[in-house]
Amino acid sequence: MSFPFQITPQDDDERFMLEALREAWKAFRDDEVPVGAVIVKQGRIIARGHNQVEMLRDATAHAEMLCMTSAAAAIEDWRLTECTLYCTIEPCSMCAGATLLSRVPQLVWGAPDLRHGANGSWTDLFEKQHPMHTVNVKSGVLSEYASQLMRDFFQLQRDKKRAGHVE
């Protein structure tokens, strides 16, 4: 299966979100919830991640968490103070908390997550001023594509279940 979207980015946020969508597509192909993330520093991607919860049998193996860990290793510092985190879906409370703790100053996400989203859909960890630093958030970037991947993935899961192909 090849990447399902033809997207011409209009700006840097869309260009990097497209890369996060490519990561989400990897998760989709691996039968994981299709969430992808990239971290950018000085205009360059320094880390990539996609959900690996099922493969690793680890509820914390979210795209954002794996991406932040990889970025910290790449720059040899847990403080991601000059980085932007791009993720295809609104971060959950765990990933939002890790974003704050890692001191990521910029967060860009695609589609809302009504069940777990921690930037207003379910709760909002960014609404209150943090005592140490601020995370500037931009949402809705290429959201229709992130939403489509999620819809297609969960429809496929329902179809498999109906057909008796549950692992």
Active site residues: 64
Number of neighbouring beta carbons within 10 Å of residue 44: 8
For residues 23 and 14, the answer to whether their CB atoms sit within 8 Å is no
For residues 3 and 25, the answer to whether their CB atoms sit within 8 Å is yes
Three-state DSSP at 10 gives coil
CA 106 to chain centre: 13
Distance separating alpha carbons of residues 90 and 139, to the nearest angstrom:
8
Query: Residue 25 corresponds to which amino acid?
Result: W
Distance separating alpha carbons of residues 56 and 77, to the nearest angstrom:
25
Tell me which residue has tokens 């910029």. Answer: 106
Strand duo 83-89 + 106-111: pairing: parallel
Three-state DSSP at 50 gives strand
